[in-house]
Amino acid sequence: MQALWMVLAAFLFASMGVCVKIASGFFNSAELVFYRGLIGIAMLWLLARSQRVTLATAYPGMHAWRSLVGVASLGAWFYAIAHLPLATAMTLNYMSSVWIAAFLVGGTLLAWRPSATSPRPALQGTLIVTVLTGFAGVVMMLRPSLDQNQGFAGMIGLMSGMTAAFAYMQVMALSRLGEPESRTVFYFAVGSAVAGGGAMLFTGVSQWPGWQALWLLPIGILAAGGQLCMTRAYASAKTQRGTLVVANLQYSGIVFAAAYSVVLFGDQLPPIAWAGMALIVGSGIAATVLRARAAPGTPAEEH
């Protein structure tokens, strides 16, 4: 069942991407972040209440930092979805696992001092190959986009994955302190509403489009539903092997996004872009496995 819950979560996140892409024709990225946060606040408050989880926290500063980097990632992802094929934007955001591996490599190299009593860190070579493979996939994916003058949006999409990695590491720290996931995600929703509303002071407010504004509603609902299904998937995985299966099945979201991209939006990606996407998925799965070995029991990534 945990596998089915994760596949459903991936489907919901990809479906949210469809709604974001359609709604971006009527609203700017700041507005989408604001409304997603607003709807998320309501849904997560109800969820926390049903779970009897209090929303008071002893770590407001950590939640504020997690919200800051998380909102930066969310805004960058929404911008990429608006200006790139959905499959490309989704894949770049799922680069967060590869970014985490890159941070682990960099942090280990900075901390390691060669000596007779300090051998080379384990898995270093494997991590480096994983990271290089992931970034080779990025180059292959973005090269067609650069030819279509979409290079800036591609860089923004790549940044969404990097900042998602920072946000994940903060979520991991909060989890180790015993913070419930519903509380963490609730404060992220609050941060999204506050940051999105503040950004709207600079980006302006779009003219209300009428019934098309209904596309805002499923963005928040699908995001909360995806997060709930992902949480259920990890909670149902009782063994490390089961957890790894669940973690790797999150990449099925790229498959759903690719299907949506071709069928609904008529996007035509060249073979080199599909090959790059496959490299990113493979390196992401490898990075997830290596991370699980190094730090078992860590929480799920959010998309």
Predicted local confidence at residue 23, as pLDDT:
95
Across residues 155-183, what is the average pLDDT?
84
Q: If you average pLDDT over residues 93-102, what whole number do you get?
A: 79
3 state SS of 118:
strand
Q: Looking at per-residue confidence, does 197 or 300 come out higher?
A: 197
pLDDT band at residue 114 under the 50/70/90 scheme: low
pLDDT for 26 equals 94
Does residue 150 surpass a pLDDT of 80?
Answer: no
pLDDT of residue 199: 92
What pLDDT is recorded for position 198? 93
Q: Tokens 């980097």 appear where?
A: 69
Looking at every residue in the chain, the average pLDDT score rounds to 82
Q: What is the 3-state secondary structure (H, E, C) of the chain?
A: CHHHHHHHHHHHHHHHHHHHHHHCCCCCHHHHHHHHHHHHHHHHHHHHHHCCCCCCCCCHHHHHHHHHHHHHHHHHHHHHHHHCCHHHHHHHHCCHHHHHHHHHHHHHHHHCCCECCECCCCCHHHHHHHHHHHHHHHHHHHHHHHHCCCHHHHHHHHHHHHHHHHHHHHHHHHHHCCCCHHHHHHHHHHHHHHHHHHHHHHHCCCCCCCHHHHHHHHHHHHHHHHHHHHHHHHHHCCCHHHHHHHHHHCCHHHHHHHHHHHHCCCCCCCHHHHHHHHHHHHHHHHHHHHHHHHCCCCCCCCC
Q: Are 149 and 22 in contact (CB under 8 A)?
A: no
Measure the CA–CA gap between 48 and 164, rounded to whole angstroms: 23
Spatial separation of the C-alpha atoms in residues 249 and 38, rounded to whole Å: 29
Between 212 and 244, name the one with better pLDDT: 212
Beta carbons of 33 and 75 less than 8 angstroms apart:
yes
CA gap 160, 144 in Å, rounded: 19
CA–CA separation, 298 vs 210, rounded Å?
Answer: 43
Rank 69-73, 119-123, 281-285 by mean pLDDT and report only the highest. 69-73
268 pLDDT above the threshold of 70: yes
User: 45-82 pLDDT, tens per residue?
Assistant: 988 888 888 899 899 999 999 889 989 999 999 999 99
Query: What pLDDT shows up at residue 32?
Result: 95
pLDDT at res. 75? 93
User: Using 50, 70 and 90 to split pLDDT, how confident is the model at 214?
Assistant: very high
